């Protein structure tokens, strides 16, 4: 009974604070609709119902976040580091293989099923005239996220500065950009943004913070953040790399007898050497 | 009846989002670690909250906010003054980001960590205001990012030059920003673009690119998200320096 009561007060409190999170976007849309565009708001009832759904849904999600998603990430980080490290010994990054494996598995699994990514992949297939397959792109992005999160955990364990990795990744992306086809560039840049979903972000963030708290000598404040940054940058790299490999294979395999639609994409994809 | 069906579909989608994470964790728990998961009951209740909450949230967006957002974006794309369009772009980016669940989560976590490390005071007020300020900075930056993205579509600037300029700015700011803000700043880019922001912003981009001659809706609709990802990093780094 007590637990139910606790839950109810928790829920009502969260709903009350959530109102202020959702109100701005609603106000902005209504003001622009009514005052600026001078149009009537149609389907007022379904908008009000929708607003209530958003409110309740966000409140429930935030409660679940506190009770499930954060604790899951923290618990996994703690149990994996306990399993790995000999207490008292100096930190050796090789002891934490399990952590990297777990990070890669979470990154890959969460990304491959991501609905926005599926949509982007299908569009990429269309833009490239079939040269880039939707499945290939999804796997490229998922591998990018897996490698990124895994490397991010390695960084936390070793305590090396985050900017080194991210700036180095930027440099690689810039070099790749100059060699890539113009059509794939916006898609590649966006694939970094769409991979980090509402469910994945809290789990991955908690994993990083938990790791920094449990590995001796690391501070959550300095070392704990950054996993999401890795998960955002590495897919850009892997998508650009995938596109480059595809066009290289095409050039080697097909020689001169490529179809017309492919010519257009391939012509800009690689500078003739 | 129709709404029950719709919510059922959203529940399935939310489950599909969560399933890979649960499967990976279950595998590691059962096969690798072979340890009991502490507080399992509480976590399961929380997971149900996440699934139901996400389903309701997305259903509410689809039936309430997205239709107005899309129709306004379309109306602005076809006619109306550039000033109003840019004002709308800023407000859209700002408002959508404030309501973004992933950002609420990260801001709260960042405040917690900062309080534990003694960077800010340990009481609830200090934590709440730290989290609130962080979210406002990120939301403002996304507002500016969408304005820049809309300008890019109007003028036809190439995307990669702007992005590379952004990378250079991030690198320079990193040198001067305090260490404790760098991780949060880099992460801020990834969390801004999820449930609410992506659909609304994509609607604006695609609507604009379709109505302007010589713009490819597929390519120009996409670039906005990349800006919304990069701008928060710059703003949060700058905020950390000013603070």
Dist CA B103 CA B100 (whole Å) = 6
* Residues A72 and B25: beta-carbon distance below 8 Å: yes
Q: What is the pLDDT along chain B (243 residues), one digit of tens a residue?
A: 677 788 788 888 888 878 888 888 888 888 877 777 778 888 888 899 988 988 888 888 888 777 777 778 777 777 667 888 888 889 989 998 988 888 888 898 888 888 887 777 778 888 888 999 999 999 999 999 999 988 888 887 888 888 889 889 999 999 998 888 898 999 888 887 777 777 778 777 777 777 777 777 666 666 777 888 889 999 999 998 887
- To probe the interface with A, which of B127, B222, B237 has the most A CB atoms within 10 Å? B222
Partners of B40 on chain A (C-beta within 8 Å) are: none
A66 to B167: CB separation less than 8 angstroms, yes or no: no
B187 to A205: CB separation less than 8 angstroms, yes or no: yes
Least confident of A123-137, A202-216, A236-250, B152-166: A123-137
pLDDT in tens, A173-215: 999 988 887 777 877 887 777 666 777 788 888 889 888 888 8
Minimal CA separation from B169 to chain A, in Å: 11
Q: Does the pLDDT of residue A264 top 50, yes or no?
A: no
- To probe the interface with A, which of B56, B84, B189 has the most A CB atoms within 10 Å? B56
Per-residue confidence (pLDDT) for residue A255, from 0 to 100: 62
Partners of A69 on chain B (C-beta within 8 Å) are: 46, 50, 105
pTM comes to 0.83
- To probe the interface with B, which of A82, A123, A193 has the most B CB atoms within 10 Å? A193
Residue A213 C-alpha from the chain's centroid:
23
Q: Indicate the helix (H) or strand (E) that contains B222.
A: helix B217-242
CA atoms within 13 A on the CB side of A28: 27
Per-residue confidence (pLDDT) for residue A187, from 0 to 100: 77
Radius of gyration of chain B (CA): 20
Per-residue confidence (pLDDT) for residue A188, from 0 to 100: 83
Cα dist from A54 to A16, A49, A139, B49, whole Å? 13, 9, 32, 14
Nearest to B187 among A36, A46, A229 (CB): A229
Q: What is the DSSP letter of A180?
A: S
Minimal CA separation from B180 to chain A, in Å: 5
Per-residue confidence (pLDDT) for residue B119, from 0 to 100: 76
Q: What is the DSSP letter of B216?
A: -
ipTM over 0.90: no
């Amino acid at each position: 009974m007590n637990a139910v009561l606790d839950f109810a007060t928790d829920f009502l409190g969260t709903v009350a604070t959530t109102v202020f999170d959702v109100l701005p976007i609603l106000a902005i849309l209504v003001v622009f609709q009514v005052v600026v565009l001078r149009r009537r708001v149609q389907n007022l009832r379904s908008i009000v119902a929708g607003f209530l759904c958003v409110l309740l849904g966000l409140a429930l999600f935030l409660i679940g976040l506190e009770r499930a998603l954060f604790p899951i990430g923290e618990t996994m980080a703690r149990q994996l580091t306990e399993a790995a490290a000999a207490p008292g010994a100096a930190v050796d990054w090789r002891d934490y293989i399990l952590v990297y494996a777990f990070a890669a598995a979470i990154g890959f699994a969460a990304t491959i099923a991501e609905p926005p990514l599926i949509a982007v992949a299908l569009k990429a297939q269309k833009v490239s005239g079939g040269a880039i397959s939707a499945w290939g792109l999804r796997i490229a992005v998922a591998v990018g996220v897996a490698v990124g999160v895994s490397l991010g955990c390695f960084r936390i364990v070793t305590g090396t500065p985050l900017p080194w990795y991210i700036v180095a990744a930027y440099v690689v992306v810039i070099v790749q950009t100059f060699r890539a086809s113009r059509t794939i560039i916006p898609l590649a840049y966006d694939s970094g943004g769409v991979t980090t979903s509402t469910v994945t972000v809290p789990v991955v963030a908690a994993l990083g913070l938990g790791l920094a708290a449990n590995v001796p000598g690391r501070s959550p404040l300095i070392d704990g953040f950054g996993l999401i940054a890795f998960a955002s940058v590495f897919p850009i790299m892997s998508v650009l790399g995938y596109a480059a490999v595809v066009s290289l294979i095409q050039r080697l395999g097909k020689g001169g007898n490529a179809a017309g639609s492919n010519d257009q994409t391939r012509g800009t994809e690689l500078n003739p050497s | 009846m129709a709404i029950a069906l719709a919510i059922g579909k959203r529940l399935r989608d939310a489950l599909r989002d969560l399933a890979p994470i649960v499967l990976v964790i279950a595998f590691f728990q059962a096969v690798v670690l072979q340890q009991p998961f502490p507080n399992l009951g509480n976590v399961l209740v929380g997971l149900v909250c996440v699934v139901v909450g996400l389903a309701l949230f997305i259903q509410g967006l689809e039936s309430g906010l997205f239709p107005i957002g899309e129709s306004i974006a379309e109306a602005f794309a076809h006619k109306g003054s550039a000033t109003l369009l840019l004002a709308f772009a800023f407000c859209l980016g700002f408002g959508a980001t404030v309501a973004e669940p992933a950002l609420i989560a990260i801001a709260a976590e960042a405040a917690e960590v900062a309080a534990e490390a003694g960077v800010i005071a340990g009481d609830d007020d200090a934590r709440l205001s730290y989290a609130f300020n962080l979210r406002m900075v990120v939301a403002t930056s996304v507002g500016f990012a969408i304005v820049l993205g809309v300008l890019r579509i109007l003028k036809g600037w190439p995307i990669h030059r702007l992005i590379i300029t952004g990378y250079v700015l991030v690198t320079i700011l990193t040198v001067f920003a305090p260490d404790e803000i760098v991780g949060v700043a880099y992460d801020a880019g990834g969390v801004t673009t999820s449930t609410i922001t992506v659909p609304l912003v994509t609607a604006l981009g695609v609507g604009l690119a379709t109505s302007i001659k010589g713009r490819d809706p597929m390519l120009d609709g996409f670039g906005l998200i990349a800006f919304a990802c990069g701008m928060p990093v710059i703003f949060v780094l700058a905020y950390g320096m000013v603070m």
